[in-house]
Amino acid sequence: MSYIINDILSAMNYLPIGIICGFLGTTMHYILKSKVVNKKTCILEFFLITYLTAVLFIALLSREPGSRDMVSLIPFSTFGTTPQSHAYVVENIIMFIPFGFLLPLLWVRMNNLYFCLLTAFFTSLAIEVTQVITKMGYGQTDDVITNVLGAAVGFGILRIIQKVK
């Protein structure tokens, strides 16, 4: 558990840049958009841009290009037995929970579990491919699996909240 807490606290270093990007992206979107601004959508877009910026930094930009050179295509091969390897699994799930939560709130099409998880799959796959090409991370099938699982958890949390409301 201490690995997860330490890694999450370390990832918080990217929150200020995420907030700046969220503010600038949301502001630019509404300056360029000719329709009336919906407050709820504006806030959700801010959170999505902030979140995606943080993910981009955590998964790619926090690493030196060429610093990592490994690909693991065998499912569940990187889950390991150490507390740190277990922490990586949990962190990858946690990292995509907001994805499964925010997308359905912003886009009606993503209210369908299949489309939401398919989008999470392709987003995670794009991150992994970019990590392999730039050698800024290890390309791992397990990361895609756990990211999609995280999006499913986020989608499930949203559904529970909607039912309770």
pLDDT exceeding 90 applies to what percent of the chain?
54
What is the torsional sign of CA 102, 156, 11, 59? Answer: negative
Residue 119 has pLDDT above 90, yes or no: yes
- Which ranges in the chain belong to alpha helices (H)? 2-11, 15-32, 39-56, 83-106, 113-134, 141-164
Q: Could you give the CA distance from residue 53 to residue 51 in angstroms, rounded to a whole number?
A: 5
What is the model's pLDDT at position 80?
77
What is the model's pLDDT at position 67?
65
Beta partners for residue 140, in sequence order? 72
Q: Are 140 and 128 in contact (CB under 8 A)?
A: yes
pLDDT, mean over the chain = 89
Please list, in sequence order, all residues whose beta carbon lies within 8 angstroms of the beta carbon of residue 47, skipping any fewer than 6 positions away.
Answer: 22, 98, 102
Q: What is the mean pLDDT of residues 84-102?
A: 92
What is the model's pLDDT at position 30?
83
What is the model's pLDDT at position 34?
62
What is the model's pLDDT at position 77?
82
pLDDT in tens, 31-85: 887 667 788 888 999 999 999 999 999 888 887 777 677 788 888 887 877 888 8
Q: Please state the φ and ψ torsions of residue 89, each to the nearest 5 degrees.
A: -60, -50
Residue 86 has pLDDT above 70, yes or no: yes
Question: What is the rounded end-to-end Cα distance, in angstroms, of the chain?
Answer: 32
